[in-house]
Structure 1
Amino acid sequence: MPKLVIPLTDLKLKTTKAGAKLIKLSDGDGLYLEVLPNGSKTWRFRFRQVNGKENLLTFGPYPDVSLVEARTKRAQARQLLRDGIDPARDRDAQRVAAADQRAHTFERVARDWHANKMKSWSPQYAENVLHRLEQDIFPDIGPEPIMGLPHRRIIAVLRKIETRGAVEIAKRQRAVCRQIFSYAIQSGIADRNPVTDMADILQPVSPGHFPAITSEELPRFLRALHSNEARTGRVTLLAVRLMMLVFIRTSELIEAPWSELPPGTKQWVIPWRRMKLGKRHLNPIKVDHVVPLPRQAVELIEELRKLTGGGALLFPNMRDHSRPMSNNTILKVIERMGYKGDMTGHGFRTLAMSTIKETLKYRHEPVDRQLAHVVKDKVQRAYDRAAYLDERAVMMQAWADYLDVVTREALSAV
């Protein structure tokens, strides 16, 4: 007749003292507490494997693992045995899975996704995607396992980007994170995509709307730019002034190679591959953008050539000359001037468009083409490029001369 085992009690567990030899306090059905001479107490579970061999599981130390918890673990192990599963092998499999989960951090999966996708991207686009992840996402959630990453952590990262005024970037990063989670699911690393439920989390982006000053505010802005010259690096200052003169997009300016601007050139031809519509994955507009350079812009470019002309880029990154200046560099200058939220790099395009049409009285068509707003019809596009180039050259010089006049008047009024 099997020996009757009296179930353990918390009082029995607490009052049992260590002896000279190992003590076993049985709770029945293979569960017992092992009390060592040094006073440590550990839960053990003895069982027979599916193949009939005896084995032992450790449930953890007492009192960290309570009597109730130990009995729960025993019940779970016995249920596995009834289902034909070896508890020891199940434990080992769970440990491997947990280790695998810890190894598959968000950053590791994101870099794998990036390496897989970059074969179908242009080198510049691939670099930009990775750089933005390194700047905005990895510092906050990069080290965390992608499996089970909470919604609120991802939302916090996206809103952090949004609060600095980069609403469009936050929207793009949300799309990138959605793709990374999708890749993780397809790779068997994650089982859900938390970003798919974040359609209404971020502020809506107003298409084409960027903060910009008006022509009436331009004199004050120019005085602020002049007063901040001493605190602004010369290369950065030239970037701001050149952007004001030619009002191309920020990326088109700061990513420009010197090969596009040979000495003495009066026209800047930006290849279609660097243009916004040329970078589209579907149906890119393959039209180079011609920028007639006013005299003042040529002078700035030649000054810049003396500073950075020995390298590949007009505006190299200060830490890594193989990469362009950060998108935020111009924005930071504008913020230091006191125009945070009121002006952006893109705002120079809005300022130029409104002032050239309303103050200098130029027609909409040449201004629109100078902004690289390309019409969809191919025949009309070719005509526009030919028809307005001479007019645009005169218009760009008039804009530069206008800025000179406003600058002189603004500084003389100080």
Structure 2
Amino acid sequence: MTHTGNTRPADGEARATRRRRLQRLLRYVPLVAPVLLWAVPCWVLLYTGQRWPVPVTLAGTVLFALALIGMPLAMTRGHGRRQRDRAAIVGDTLLGVGWVMFTWSVLLGVPLRLVLTVAGVGDGQGRARIVTWAALGVTSVLLAWGYGEARRVPRVRRVDVQLPRLGAGLDGVRVVLITDTHYGPLDRARWSARVCETVNSLEADLVCHTGDIADGTAERRRAQAAPLGTVRATRARVYVTGNHEYYSEAQGWVDLMDELGWEPLRNRHLLLERGGDTLVVAGVDDVTAESSGLAGHRAHLAGALDGADPDLPVLLLAHQPKFVDRAAAGGVDLQLSGHTHGGQIWPFHHLVRIDQPTVAGLSRHGSRTLLYTSRGTGFWGPPFRVFAPSEITLLVLRSPRPSS
């Protein structure tokens, strides 16, 4: 069965407007976000009629205050110039805890209290305490479950994709997509090896990594990335850079992937041939590459397709889904992307939608171009995934004229 997802026309101007709004908003995030993340749940859980004993209120307030101060300090020490992994783990974990607690103290605070009032359950103090325990309970369950989801080997998601221009000889080509592995402060070398074992079990013709390999330089994260060298494919293993490579000496990652036997498709293509038919497999640098200042790094679709027969179907690797506007204009048949993590921690996907045309799954753009957006194989920052499961994607390409 062929999955086509939601069809939505490309609307570059509207997306550009949303991106400008997001950029303006992001200027204030470092100042406002920590205060909101910790002050709001502190108020909802401790100061909205609960009348806890004074020691409980003071202890709770101190914990929230320590989190408010400690989170940005730990993240600065962990992700700033010092690059202290232990500090990064503390800061990232607090960020995830704060986001989940903020979300559910807000979502449960007013509605649950209203329901309890209508139902005549308890007095004001009793209802306020029920809200507190409910929010803490939901937060604890989601964090425990989300941690397990983030650290597990992703489930395999199979998607059949019909490409009208795909020749019959290529019907059934198996393409495995991994992306956003984000090797980082938490050592995931064993996890990486298990992911690669799962990829190998899928017997892929083509294996793709669409960027954001790690948070940190290739030298620093080499041990976690090394298992990628064990990945097998009958035709090729290909890789394109993500935006996080450009925070961590991108050329070092390009060189390491080449050393591990992957072909970095830096604005170029290769040909996948089978049964007398040919598929163009192209890749572009991430859209942030040009602003990185690295010589020769930029997203250049024309360069990637230079010399390719325009009558052949094109599979394009581009880290960010928003590159699909250019892909559609260039006649690409299928773009594979990551970057969004599916939102990673619900309901963050609503913010992702401001910057990207899709969050996850298969979608159509223009008359020809399909886009598959992976939720990602690993996780960024907070070691939690809530209602946004990770994935290893098996895309089976289908021709409208399958061979007999």
Same fold flag (TM > 0.5): no
**When you count helix as a share of all residues, which structure comes out higher?**
1
Q: Could you say which structure has the greater relative contact order, defined with CA pairs below 8 angstroms and 6 or more residues apart?
A: 2
**When you count strand as a share of all residues, which structure comes out higher?**
2
Bigger Rg, which one? 1
